Amino acid sequence: MIGISWALIAQHVDAWTGTDLDQGAAVLEDRVRAAVDAIGLTPEAARHWPTDFLVPVVESLRSDGATALGRGESWSKAAGPLLACACPVT
């Protein structure tokens, strides 16, 4: 099992637990996008948010996170106001 948790500073905290890392990454991405949409960013900020913050974290989870979890280790990544971490759950 894998546990993934994330925080969007001063806005949103959430978590997911399951066995499929790709599913967990998709849940993280969907839920963070929904939380950011609810904030009501300016159009320019909304355009930059995914590429500057969300995509780097999700891509790192799918690559570096998968490697760390495969070794039984934890992973974490922050980009701007987004922090995510993943760890094996026993």
The DSSP-derived string for 69-82 is: HHTT--EEEEETTE
pTM of the predicted model as reported, rounded to 2 decimal places: 0.91
pLDDT at 64 over 90: yes
- pLDDT single digits (tens) 10-35: 888 999 999 999 999 999 999 999 98
State how far the Cα of 32 lies from the Cα of 40, in Å rounded to an integer.
13
State how far the Cα of 30 lies from the Cα of 12, in Å rounded to an integer.
13
Domains in the chain, number: 1
pLDDT at 39 over 90: no
Mean pLDDT rounded to a whole number for the chain? 94
**Could you tell me the residue range of the domain that residue 76 belongs to?**
2-88
Q: Among residues 69, 29, 67, 19, which one has the least CA distance to residue 50?
A: 29
pLDDT at 37 over 90: no
